[in-house]
Amino acid sequence: MRYMLGVVALMVVVATVNLSYAATEEPGEYLDRRTEIWNLFFRMMVVAFTIGAVVSGTLIWLIWRFRESHPKAKPTKYEGVDW
């Protein structure tokens, strides 16, 4: 979980540095901030949906694998039930 937050924080820092150095020296060339903000939002949403898909897939796999009706599911020795 810490690594995911680190990746998102790194993306924000890289985008901020990119925006700060994006201004040109020539007059008349301006930075379209709406476009840059949309690009940053889009990138972060792609990362968020990817992380969400991985977490959801992992949860579905865990629930399916360790369900009670699974043929190989056996109680552990700590549950006190022998089959």
- pLDDT at residue 60 tops 90: yes
Residue 75 in any domain: the answer is no
Structure tokens at 74: 């056996």
State pTM to two decimals. 0.54
**Tokens coding 82:** 């022998």
Does a structural domain hold residue 83?
no
Q: What is the pLDDT of residues 32-41, one digit of tens each?
A: 778 888 888 9
pLDDT given for residue 37 in this prediction: 84
Q: Is position 53 within any domain?
A: yes
Q: Considering the domain boundaries, does residue 10 fall inside one?
A: yes
Task: Identify whether 57 is part of a domain.
Answer: yes
In angstroms, the CA 38 to CA 16 distance is: 13
pLDDT at 43: 87
Quote the number of domains for the chain. 1
> Which residues form the domain of 50?
2-23+31-65
- Residue 41: name the closest of 8, 79, 7 by CA: 8
What is the arithmetic mean of pLDDT over 39-57? 92
